[in-house]
Amino acid sequence: MDEKENIMCTMFEDHSLILPSGTVSYKYTESLVIPIKVVESWANKYKVKINPTKSKFVMCPCKKDITHVPRLKMNNIAIKQSRILKYLGLLFDGSLTWRSHLKTVSEEVNYLQNKQIDFQEQLGG
């Protein structure tokens, strides 16, 4: 990706992440067209199928208000905006806090603890 555009792309197994950086949200739509096309071309070249309906984007504004929500497309299908993005097992929200991730992990731990207690009770212990 072009360093001047302040865009970074990273891929690992079946996860792809395009990270743009900028000061005004209205520029994201046009600045992300080429990086998305590069990912599409790479996927086509190596016969990797990217499901645009599973693709999401999250806005992480420095300020609270977003003046423009980008209209991003992959393979001519709109990419939906989300409040939370899961990447490599970690959950990221627009505030870049760990709240969403920690809440989910806590819920999973509680669920497993309850399953363990139920299992122990069934064994008579």
The token duo for 77 is 């299908």
If one compares 124 and 105, the residue with the highest pLDDT of the two is 105
User: Do 16 and 68 sit in the same domain of this protein?
Assistant: yes
Q: Is residue 40 part of a domain?
A: yes
The domain of 118 spans: 95-124
Confidence class of residue 117 from pLDDT cuts 50, 70 and 90?
A: very high
What is the per-residue pLDDT across 60-88, written as a single tens digit (0 to 9) for each? 776 667 777 888 899 899 999 898 888 89
Distance of CA 104 to the CA centre of its chain: 16
Q: What is the pLDDT of residue 109?
A: 96
User: Do 107 and 55 sit in the same domain of this protein?
Assistant: no
Whole-number Å distance between alpha carbons of 105 and 99: 10
User: Do 19 and 71 sit in the same domain of this protein?
Assistant: yes
Confidence class of residue 95 from pLDDT cuts 50, 70 and 90?
A: confident
Q: Is residue 88 part of a domain?
A: no
User: Do 46 and 70 sit in the same domain of this protein?
Assistant: yes
User: Do 59 and 99 sit in the same domain of this protein?
Assistant: no
Contact between 35 and 70 under an 8 Å Cβ cutoff? The reply is no
Number of Cα atoms under 13 Å in the Cβ half of residue 103: 8
User: Do 115 and 59 sit in the same domain of this protein?
Assistant: no
User: Do 101 and 71 sit in the same domain of this protein?
Assistant: no
What is the per-residue pLDDT across 5-28, written as a single tens digit (0 to 9) for each? 678 888 888 788 888 877 777 777
